[in-house]
Homo-oligomer: A and B are copies of this chain.
Amino acid sequence: MSDPAPSGDEEGRPGIGRVEAFSDGVVAIIVTIMVLELHPPETVGWDKLWALWPVMLAYVLSYAYVAIYWVNHHRLFTHATHVTNGLIWANMVLLFTLSLVPFATAYLGEHHFHRDATLLYLATLLLPSLAYVRLQSIIRRTGKQGPAAEAYHRQMTRKGLFATLLYLAGIPLSFLSPWLGIACAALVALFWCMPKSSFDRLFD
């Protein structure tokens, strides 16, 4: 960094606040536009509503996924101390990958968990996890230091690795049945939502 001018990179937490606010806005929109795929049926009738269950199920799963990213992002950014060019762009890439989730969700719901749609969905959800690894490694390097921060990053890295492996297992399983792939994705979502417990000690 040979930037001679004070270009926001050195301003500390205030700069972080605006990156958080922008991320909150993007994630809030991503999470909410997915519900637009729930088109109300053109004729009344409980059977017509019931036929929406794949779209609804896809929405629930994706909502949980994006919510998990927000929660983890929220915690991760408490460890950031200043804004760097690398941090901003790693965050932009993460938001970009999350913005593809509504597309994959609509595809999954419209094609009723068809095998190809499930594979596309699993592949799309893999992208933010890669982007998140990059973002975390930047904050680990440039953010708060010390044993507590180190313990947090080590634990999150292990949890992330475990989640990704469980998740990757869903791809071959989808060839047996798309529902096995979806089950893996749902398990990963549950894994992240679970209240913190002695279970977390497994990842220390």
Measuring CB to CB, which residues of chain A are less than 8 angstroms from any residue of chain B? 1-9, 11, 15, 18-22, 24-33, 35-36, 38, 40-42, 44-46, 49, 60, 63, 67, 70-71, 74-75, 78, 83, 85-86, 88-89, 92, 95-96, 99-100, 102-103, 106-107, 110-111, 114, 116-117, 120, 148-149, 151-152, 155, 193, 195-198, 200-201, 204
Contacts and interface: CB of A to CB of B under 8 A. Distances in A.
A42 B111 CA distance: 8
A149 to B, nearest CB: 7
Given A22-B27, A96-B63, A196-B3, A44 B74 contact: no
Number of this chain's copies in the complex: 4
10 contacts: A2-B196, A4-B204, A5-B148, A5-B151, A5-B152, A6-B149, A21-B21, A29-B32, A32-B33, A38-B103
Nearest to A108: B40
B195 A86 contact: yes
